[in-house]
């Protein structure tokens, strides 16, 4: 977890000050941002995009892949970070909820719940990610490369959305 380094924000600010055109993006499990100070440090770091990896819209599905994670905590951290960004009246960094699709979290109901939660929180983009599981038993069978159902969500896939993020 890169945000666990006590000087992450400071290092990012230094990099941006010395190269203002540098585009910075990080992917995190979101568990680090438990305090107001940690959230503020990230928001003021100059980073362009923070990806929160939350693989489920319910605790049950999230816990299957994010062993020893804390669904309620990471959702609250993302919500609090977005709220703080709004209070600071800044539009950056962009917050992305990246959701790996597995065979247990790819139902229409759970995906719609994630969309609803993301909209209510003010997430900039909710994106789906495919085929990152270590074995063949886990990946989504419903949404996989080459499946006809994939067209339903192509506009929400990480591969599509990352190209829409302004640099």
pLDDT digits (tens, 9 = 90+) for 41-79: 999 999 999 999 999 999 999 999 888 889 999 999 999
Residue 132 pairs in a beta bridge with: none
Write out residues in the chain with pLDDT < 70, as ranges.
133-137, 167
What would the two tokens of residue 90 be?
A: 């800044």
Nearest to 30 by CA among 59, 51, 8: 51
pTM: 0.91
Residues 6+ apart with CB under 8 A from 34: 73, 77
Please tell me the distance from the alpha carbon of residue 145 to that of residue 139, in angstroms, as a whole number: 11
Q: What is the number of other CB atoms lying within 10 angstroms of the CB of residue 10?
A: 12
Q: Which pLDDT score, from 0 to 100, does residue 135 have?
A: 61
């Amino acid at each position: 977890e890169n945000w666990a380094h006590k000087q992450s924000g400071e290092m990012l600010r230094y990099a941006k000050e010395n190269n203002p055109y540098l585009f910075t993006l990080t992917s995190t499990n979101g568990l680090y941002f438990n305090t107001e100070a940690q959230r503020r440090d990230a928001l003021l770091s100059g980073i362009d995009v923070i990806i929160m990896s939350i693989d489920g819209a319910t605790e049950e599905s999230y816990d299957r892949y994010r062993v020893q994670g804390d669904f309620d905590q990471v959702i609250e951290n993302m919500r609090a970070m977005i709220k703080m960004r709004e209070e600071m009246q800044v539009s950056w960094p962009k917050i992305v909820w990246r959701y790996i699709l597995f065979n247990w979290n790819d139902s229409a109901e759970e995906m719609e719940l994630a969309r609803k939660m993301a909209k209510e929180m003010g997430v900039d983009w909710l994106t789906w990610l495919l085929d990152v599981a270590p074995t063949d038993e886990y990946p989504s069978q419903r949404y996989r490369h080459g499946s006809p159902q994939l067209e339903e969500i192509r506009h929400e896939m990480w591969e599509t959305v990352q190209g829409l993020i302004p640099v």
